[in-house]
Amino acid sequence: MSPRRLTPAVPRRAVLGGLAAGAAVAAMPRRIVAQDKVTIRWWSPQSSPEQLAAYETQMRNFEALHENVEVVFEKTSDEGYAPQLAAAFASGEVPNVVTHLPSFAVSNYWRNGLLEPFNDVIEMIGPDKFYEGANDIYEVDPGQYAGTGIGNSAANMMWLRTDLMEERGVEAPPRTWDEMLAAMEKLQGGGIYGAPLPYGRNSMTTLIFIGFIHGAGGMVFNPDLSVAIDSPETRDALEFYKAMRQYCPPGATNYSWGDSLTAFVSGACATGIYTGRVLINVNTQNPDIADHVTCVRYPTKSADIDFWTFNDFPSVFIPKAAPNMEETKQFAAFLFDPEGYIQQLHAAPGHVLPVLQTISAMPEYQNNPIIEKYSEEVDKMAAAAANGFNLGWESREHQPNAKAGEIVNSNVISEMVQRVVLNDENADTVLSETATRIEEIMNAN
pLDDT score, position 243: 98
Query: Where do the CATH 3.40.190.10 domains begin and end in the chain?
Result: 12-153+312-386, 157-308+411-443
pLDDT score, position 207: 96
pLDDT score, position 402: 87
CB count within 10 Å of CB 202 equals: 19
CA distance 221 to 204: 19
pLDDT score, position 48: 87
CA distance 98 to 236: 38
Helices (H), 188-324: 203-215, 232-244, 257-265, 277-285
For residue 148, the cross-strand partners are 316
Q: Helix, strand or coil for residue 221?
A: strand
138 near 315, Cβ under 8 Å?
yes
107 near 400, Cβ under 8 Å?
yes
113 Cβ neighbours under 8 A, 6+ residues apart: 320
Q: Helix, strand or coil for residue 200?
A: coil
For residue 72, the cross-strand partners are 41
Nearest Cα to 29, choosing from 57, 85, 2, 69?
A: 69
CA distance 135 to 149: 7
CA distance 11 to 21: 16
Q: Which class in CATH covers the domain with range 12-153+312-386?
A: alpha beta
Query: Residue 125 is inside which H or E element, if any?
Result: helix 119-125
**DSSP-assigned letter for residue 134:** T
215 near 300, Cβ under 8 Å?
yes
Q: Helix, strand or coil for residue 144?
A: strand
Beta strand 157-161 with 67-75 is unpaired
Nearest Cα to 82, choosing from 52, 117, 112, 119?
A: 112
Angle at which helix 427-443 crosses helix 232-244, to 10 degrees, equals 120
Buried b (16+ CB within 10 A) or exposed e, 254-275: ebbbebbbbbbbebebbbbbbb
**CATH of the domain spanning 157-308+411-443, picked from 3.40.50.620, 3.40.190.10, 1.10.8.10, 3.30.70.3270:** 3.40.190.10
pLDDT score, position 441: 97
442 Cβ neighbours under 8 A, 6+ residues apart: 225, 227, 403, 407
Q: Helix, strand or coil for residue 6?
A: coil
CA distance 175 to 178: 8
The beta-carbon contacts of 20-24 under 8 Å, at least 24 apart in sequence, are 21/337, 21/338, 21/339, 21/364, 22/337, 22/338, 22/339, 24/338, 24/358, 24/362
Angle at which helix 49-65 crosses helix 338-346, to 10 degrees, equals 170
Q: Could you tell me how many residues make up the chain? A: 445
Quote helix, strand, coil % in the chain, to nearest 5.
50, 15, 35
For residue 296, the cross-strand partners are 158
CA distance 351 to 282: 13
CA distance 261 to 269: 10
310 near 389, Cβ under 8 Å?
yes
Mean pLDDT by 10 residues, the chain (445 residues): 31 33 45 76 93 96 95 88 93 97 92 96 96 88 94 96 98 98 98 98 97 98 98 98 98 96 98 97 97 98 97 95 97 98 94 92 94 94 91 92 92 98 98 98 92
pLDDT score, position 20: 36
